[in-house]
Amino acid sequence: MISLLGYGRTNKAFSTYLYQHAMPCIVYDDAIHAPTTTPHNQPLLPSSAFDPVHSHLEVISPGIPPHHPLVLASQHLLSEYDYVAKLKTPPPTFFVSGTNGKTTTTEILGLLCAPFGAQVGGNIGVPLITLKDAPLWILETSSFSLHYTKHYAPSLYILLPLAQDHLSWHGGYEHYISAKLKPLSLMAKSSPVLLETRFQNHPLVQAILKQNNAPELIFYENSAHLAKQMGFDLVKVRFEEPFLLDALLALSATKLAFNQVDYDRLNSYTLQPHRLEVFKDAQARTWVNDSKATNVDATLKALDRFADRFVHLIVGGDTKQVDLSPLFERLTHMHTRIYTIGTSAPLMSEMAKHYGVNALYCGDVARAVCAIKACLKPHQIAILSPSAASLDQFSSYQERGDLFKACVLKP
């Protein structure tokens, strides 16, 4: 019997696939408290009902952490990536991972590689099991998926800059880094890898470099360094940071794979909502929806963009146990006031007091927006860049960003 551990987006797609191929399965999920069934009449049971004795294969939903009882009890655990690779030989595949910018880079890369028949999926919203056969797959790949994947290797790997994130899930920053570097040990000889220069001396990278069948590691320091290495003309690229690096990494992958540099196609990409999305209120004051900034590093990049302005900053949510001190150290050198929301609001308010940062405890987005509206001046900036995940108060960062915009635009 196949066991699907977790019933999120990934395993909902797997349950449909198994139903269509007449393969029986049982689904287990923490949110289920009494036995029921999926829309395909497959048993859907509480996690506590899982019995490894009657399971010959367990497909793990990537969001379930390695210390979960379902994982600890499993004896035949497979990631979604490895299961798909077991079903069939995947086409050449590009992985895109990192802390921030994965979605933007993946979408740009998909646009650039569309003439070569690329299909885009993975964490970007299309489960791997549903991807159509194609000459190339481009997958936004989370650290969760990488942790559980032991066999599926990319033919090209883009690793965006790393910062502290998902520490409670991985059990520490080094474990998080190890998951992100894991594909290097699986890739074929000379397969290109784009990664930060700071990892050149990392023990895992050094071990890879000593192997005769090592992938080709291409190190970058920043956008300017990468552009110089790859021979790009920055004047022809319309994006600003932090999106400039995303664009250049996607352009680099396309050049490495297909020897093509298409600036016009690159510049046709439209940035998606909720990431440094600038808009005006009824009084023509500037607001920025950066709800996708779910960690400190993303907020620091947003602050870099507006370092010369007075910033009203909404922060807070589920901080995932990361170190918040880099954020407050930056805020001490800026003209700013913060408005704290979510479960971390008390902690952030206390840290603001400790660092001497002007702060107002608000609790939720609506109160924070109301407080900012009362004092925002035309030459100032108001930003929702929470440095935290949204699931303490919302179903997603999109819902949080939509509410923020609605509150701002409300008469």
d(CA 133, CA 117): 10
Residue-wise pLDDT for 293-341, tens only, equals 999 999 999 999 999 999 999 999 999 889 999 999 999 999 999 999 9
Quote the percentage of the chain above a pLDDT of 70: 100
Give residue 33's pLDDT. Answer: 97
Mean pLDDT for the stretch of residues 286-291: 98
pLDDT of 84 over the 90 cut = yes
- Return the HEC string of 283-346: CCCEEEECCCCCCHHHHHHHHHHCCCCCEEEEECCECCCCCCHHHHHHHCCCCEEEEEECCCHH
Mean pLDDT for the stretch of residues 367-378: 98
Residue 203 is which amino acid? P
Q: To which residue do tokens 């907020």 refer?
A: 299
Q: How sure is the predictor about 125, in pLDDT bands with cuts at 50, 70 and 90?
A: confident
Mean pLDDT for the stretch of residues 372-381: 97
Residue-wise pLDDT for 209-266, tens only, equals 998 899 999 999 999 999 999 999 999 999 999 999 999 999 999 999 999 999 999 9
Give residue 321's pLDDT. Answer: 86
d(CA 141, CA 79): 12
In order, the DSSP letters of 137-201 are: EEEE--HHHHHH-SS---SEEEE----S--HHHHTSHHHHHHHHHGGGGTSPTT-EEEEEGGGTT
d(CA 170, CA 183): 17
Give residue 387's pLDDT. Answer: 97
Q: Is 130 annotated as a binding residue?
A: no
- Identify the sign of the CA torsion 105, 396, 372, 337: negative
Mean pLDDT for the stretch of residues 386-408: 97
Q: Is 101 annotated as a binding residue?
A: yes
Give residue 310's pLDDT. Answer: 98
DSSP H/E element including 94 = strand 93-97
Q: Is 301 annotated as a binding residue?
A: no
DSSP H/E element including 246 = helix 243-258
Mean pLDDT for the stretch of residues 362-385: 98
242 cis-preceded (ω within 30 degrees of 0): yes
Given a contact cutoff of 8 angstroms between Cβ atoms, the answer to whether 320 and 388 are in contact is: yes
d(CA 161, CA 199): 10
Residue-wise pLDDT for 94-106, tens only, equals 999 999 999 999 9
Backbone angles phi, psi at 342, to 5 degrees: 75, -170
Minimal CA–CA distance to 177: which of 164, 193, 158? 164
Give residue 268's pLDDT. Answer: 98
Q: How sure is the predictor about 409, in pLDDT bands with cuts at 50, 70 and 90?
A: very high
Give residue 291's pLDDT. Answer: 98
Give residue 239's pLDDT. Answer: 97
Q: How sure is the predictor about 40, in pLDDT bands with cuts at 50, 70 and 90?
A: very high
Beta bridge partners of 57: 2
For the chain, give percent helix, strand, coil, nearest 5.
Answer: 40, 20, 40
Q: Is 99 annotated as a binding residue?
A: yes
Q: pTM of the predicted model, to two decimals?
A: 0.92
Given a contact cutoff of 8 angstroms between Cβ atoms, the answer to whether 42 and 27 are in contact is: yes
Cβ partners under 8 Å of residue 361, min gap 6: 340, 345, 346, 349
Pairing of strands 277-280, 286-289: antiparallel
